[in-house]
Amino acid sequence: MTKQKSVTREEVNERIKAALQPVFQKLGFKADVSEAREFLAANDRLPSEERMPKAMELVIRLAFGLLANERSTGIETEEQLEKVLQTIGEAGEQAPTEARRVFTQALKSLPRRGGPGRIPKLSFQESVTVCNQILRFIGQKNSAKEAIRKTSEMCPKLLGKTVGPRTLQKAWDKRDEFIGS
């Protein structure tokens, strides 16, 4: 039976730390962990678009650190250490692919960016005006479709801008909101 070379806890930690550096570089992370620590301290001061990538980096670093810590407990020989370093290397090969998959899933779970939505072509007052005009044409025995078409032709004089029949139809569909105002 050959005696295996034993390793100290400090040596295990240093070699695992060194094995993680190429993994972090493949993922595009800086070698210095202080930036991740600064993120924790300055989280509320960072713009929201910078928070997510930094948080993901911190989570990945933490996950690899926990994996390495879990695998490093009980290492007493050089052979055991080499197995752990090999596992870290294999995980490092898969890390970019897994990170992309996780990032894609995380992005899908985020709410979409808010915004004002589509700006209405007609203001409330303009909608009231066109609905009243459509009513006048209907009162002259025109069909609703014909009244909307005629109002559309009148819009440059009536409102000072061109408005299509489809837009007027949408305003007419909501006429209960506008008529009587």
DSSP-based three-state secondary structure for 95: helix
- Is 72 in the same domain as 16? yes
Domain of residue 141, residue span: 124-178
* Residues 104 and 148: beta-carbon distance below 8 Å: no
**Is 115 inside a domain boundary?**
no
- Is 105 in the same domain as 128? no
**Which of 85, 109, 133 is where one domain is finished?**
109
* Residues 131 and 171: beta-carbon distance below 8 Å: yes
pTM: 0.45
pLDDT reported for residue 48: 63
pLDDT reported for residue 34: 63
- CA–CA separation, 132 vs 151, rounded Å? 10
Q: What is the mean pLDDT of residues 82-105?
A: 80
**Is 4 inside a domain boundary?**
no
* Average pLDDT in the chain: 80
Residue 30 has pLDDT above 70, yes or no: no
- Is 93 in the same domain as 18? yes
Q: What is the mean pLDDT of residues 124-141?
A: 94
* Residues 152 and 163: beta-carbon distance below 8 Å: yes
Q: Which range, of 68-72, 101-105, 162-166, averages the lowest pLDDT?
A: 68-72
- CA–CA separation, 134 vs 33, rounded Å? 68
pLDDT reported for residue 16: 79
DSSP label of 43: G
